Structure 1
Amino acid sequence: MRHLARTLAAIAVFSAATVLAQQPQFVHARLTTVAAHGLNAELDTLKGEATPLWVGYSVPVVEKSFSSWDSRISYLEGDHPNVNDNTLNSNRSYDHAVILFRIADHSIVKIHVDNPDRQLDAGDLRVVWLTNVTPDESIANLKSLALQSDAKKLRDSAVFAISIHQSPATVPALISLASPTNDLQLREQAAFWLANQHGAEGFAALKRFAREDPDAGFREKLAFDFTLTKDPGAIGELIRMAHEDSSPQVRKQAQFWMAMKGGKVVAGDLREISENDPDTQLRKSAVFALSRLPGDEAATQLIQVANTSKDPAVRKQAVFWLGQSRDPRALDYLTKLLKQ
């Protein structure tokens, strides 16, 4: 029994130390710690306060999210420059993050996300630190904020905060925010963070949107998002969009970003589009995409198109972009053209 008691005591001490470690160091703050009995209930109560305050909690996060902070202190109030501290390890990563809400005028007006090692200067305001907040509660509250707020900065902060949670609820929440029932700006933010933070699962969601979503404006934005994901299928999806999307503007964007992401791998596809796409403007935009290929590949492909294309407009476009190139082969080719 004594052994069991010591074990339970050790577990209790460890648990208390873990909670304490997740609470950041606040300065210039009137700090109280509260065991939350439902995040929304606590926030609703605090919204009744007459004066501004901050309320925060800690959540498990995608580890890469906080790997390069280089300033020791964050100022929650007022305008203060962040001073870099080169003694800090800027490559350190964290498995938890701090989420803070500023409450004023009976509503949440600001979201601040930070790593747990930074000092937080609250500008002498009251700070309520909540324990027992679950990731699902946090995500649900942030999703509600993103859907209800008309303030772009607050909405964007809420979507970002959702994206860093290490939780099975994270990706479904972002997919829901990216759905056609929401406005384009909110959808774009959710899609961006699906690509940026969530690997294969995020890529699978974006691929479904790229193939099924009825909004060409949204699909056009997805072309860039595919350049952010590390999933190896991203290049293939950009190539598919460049060939098959029903919108010419989406196909143009896909051409450009496949060149930027795929490099030499996609040169043949772009050349094929420049030769065979039924839309003249898309054939010309494929030539522009070829001009964005890295290194000496751009000049190589442009010279080939200028020499072999059956379309005078495409050949003219290739010559134009060769004229913008710094590759010495481009100058040699243009000089030969002038002498003919």
Structure 2
Amino acid sequence: MHNKQEMDGRIVMNGKQMLLGVFALMLALGFTPPAPVVGQSVQADAQSQYEVARRLLNSAQYTQAVDLFRAYRDADTQARYAAESLYWEAYALSRMESTRYWKQALAALDTQIKLYPGASTADDTKALLAKVHGELANRGDSKSAEWVYRNAEWTAQQEIEQDDGPDETKLMALNALMQMDSDKAIPILRKLIQNRDNHPELRSHAMFILAQQDEDGASDFMLDVARNDPNPEVRQQAVFWLSQNDSPETISVLQSILSNDADAELHEHAVHALSQMSDPSAGAILREYAESESADPEIRARAVFGLSQHASTENSEFLRSLFARSTEPQTREVIMFALSQMRDQGNAQWLMDIALDTSEGTEMRAQALFMAYQAGSVTIADLVGIYDRSEDGELKGQVLFILSQQEDSAAFDKLLDIAKNESNPELRKNAIFWLGQTGDPRAEQLLLDILDG
């Protein structure tokens, strides 16, 4: 469906959380009649906004695309592409790293389903809806976790669709080259890549085959393509395969791309390549990019995540410092997640400190608490204490969700207490729902008492 590379790394969970992770991992992620003559210029302007928004989306300028999709719906009184614009807006939002954007994606999808049930993108909307709920569930959203549990049977039946390439015969011929003698195959592959009249996907596939060959000069060839090829897609593939080689020359080319090239997707590939390298200079480039306020926020987030793949005191201290200096919620959230992946650096306790810091916003504290729990630094007693002391419904909801994932008698007892005595009806309802999933006789008795009462 959408041939995009996703950021690696998903939270590893136990028990019911493992089920949520499996659901999330299982999921991937027209011409219309002319407008009426009346108001034709206004409608033409609206259509232009929609078309520009699609081009921005295709070039990975997600924030701008979202803004323009929304502006289009405000301008187009006939709503010719309103349903499609909601789906593409949600898709763009789902390409960003922050939880708040994923929640906005969910809202856009719900709106499309409610207002345009017969939309041409209805099937894609269902698949994306499941993916968004799965990702939000992995991030600790209790409502999405409940959705995943309720829709498990439907979720398990979904499949990832993949579009065929532009020239199936040529792609099959390239695959056949893998069976040839390398002395014969490599010159053909190089010639095919250098012929810029060939389809970009065909040239990229040739690079994939070439990258598998143990051949002198292959890295130099890839470096030349990464520097000089006029096609962004081909350059991106070259950069991706360069990540397998952390030579000083490769790192220098990647740094040059981040400093001088304006292609956002190429930046994304360069950051990914640097994230795979153990050379200290690659880490230094990632740290510099992560704190660059002029860089694309989504790609900065990927640089932060890349640092988490190389746990060290230096990287932990840098990310904590960057968190303290940052004001953008998306950046701060990604920093917390990155630190939660770097064990044995004191980061779990740091996350717990953020969760207990009343000067931080409620959503940030709730996310920090969930990440601290994932890192193994939160006890049941800690959770019960936070719940009893807090007056914030959202934070208490996060605690309730974490308690619901524990196979522990103290956690179960607290859920029973919430279900019986909590004054907040939403929290009480959530506690009852999660108790109903346990199959425990005490939970069954509570449900019967509620029905009888």
Compute the TM-score of the two structures, normalised by the length of structure 1. Answer: 0.58
Give the aligned residue type for 2:365.
Answer: R
Matches within 5 A, 1:59-74: none
Partner residue of 1:226?
Answer: 339
The answer to whether the 8 Å contact 2:400/2:415 transfers is yes
From 380, 386, 394, the counterpart of 1:273:
386
1:197 maps to which of 310, 317, 321: 310
Equivalent residue for 1:255? 369
CA distance in 2, matches of 1:164, 1:313: 44
CA distance in 2, matches of 1:26, 1:253: 55
Q: Closer, same or farther in 2 for the Cα pair 1:286/1:170, shift >3 Å? A: same
Following superposition, the deviation at residue 339 of structure 1 comes to 5.4
Q: Which has the higher helix share?
A: 2
Q: How much does 1:246 deviate?
A: 2.0
Shift in Å at residue 242 of structure 1? Answer: 1.7
- Quick check: 1:112 aligned with 2:240? yes
Secondary structure of the residue that 1:105 maps to in structure 2?
Answer: coil
* Correspondence for 2:301 among 171, 177, 188: 188
What is the rounded CA distance, in whole Å, between the counterparts of 1:50 and 1:80 in structure 2? 10
Q: Check the 8 A contact 1:195/1:226 in 2, yes or no.
A: yes
For these two proteins, the number of residue pairs brought into alignment is: 248
Is 2:243–2:276's contact at 8 Å kept on the other side of the alignment?
no
**Aligned residue in 2 for 1:139:** 251
CA distance in 1, matches of 2:183, 2:336: 42
Q: Measured at CA, do residues 221 and 168 of structure 1 come closer, stay the same or move farther in structure 2, by a change above 3 Å?
A: closer
Tell me, yes or no, if the aligned pair for 2:415 and 2:431 is still in contact at 8 Å.
yes
When Rg is computed on C-alpha atoms for both structures, the one with the higher figure is 1
**Unmatched runs of 5 consecutive residues or more in structure 2:** 1-181, 197-201, 210-217
TM-score, normalisation: structure 2:
0.45
Please report how far the alpha carbon of residue 332 of structure 1 lies from its aligned counterpart in structure 2 after TM superposition. Answer: 4.3
> What is the Cα deviation at residue 216 of structure 1?
1.6
CA–CA distance in structure 1, aligned partners of residues 255 and 310 of structure 2 = 17
* 1:224/1:336 CA distance change after superposition, 3 Å: farther
Corresponding residue for residue 45 of structure 2: none
CA 1:330–1:234 in 2, change beyond 3 Å: closer, same or farther?
farther
Shift of 1:232: 4.5
RMSD: 4.2
Alpha carbons of 1:147 and 1:300: their partners in 2 closer, same or farther (altered >3 Å)?
farther
Residues in 1 aligned to 2:383 and 2:402: alpha-carbon distance in whole angstroms: 7
> Aligned pair in 2 of structure 1 residues 293, 225: CA closer, same or farther (>3 Å)?
farther
Task: Choose the corresponding residue for 1:241, options 354, 358, 361.
Answer: 354
Q: Does the CA contact (< 8 Å) of 1:195 and 1:202 recur in 2?
A: yes
| C-alpha spacing 1:113/1:317, structure 2 compared with 1 (3 Å) | same
- C-alpha distance after superposition, 1:236-292 (max 9, x if no partner): 1221222226222212222333333327x3433333332223422222232223223
Identify the residue that residue 319 of structure 2 maps to in structure 1.
206
Do 1:174 and 1:191's aligned partners in 2 also have CA atoms closer than 8 Å? yes
Tell me the equivalent position of 1:88: none
Partner of 2:447: 334
Report the residue type matching 2:303 in the other structure: A
- For structure 1, list consecutive stretches of 5 or more residues without a partner in the other structure: 1-24, 32-48, 53-74, 83-96, 117-129
**Structure 2 partner of 1:163:** 275
CA drift of 1:152 comes to 4.5
CA contact (8 A) 1:260 1:293 kept: no
State how far apart, in whole Å, the 1-side matches of 2:394 and 2:349 are: 22
Cα distance change of structure 1 residues 259 and 140 upon mapping to structure 2, 3 Å threshold: same
| Secondary structure of the corresponding residue to residue 29 of structure 1 | helix
Distance 2:437 2:183 in 1: 55
* Code of the aligned partner of 2:266: L
Q: Is residue 205 of structure 2 the alignment partner of residue 78 of structure 1? A: yes
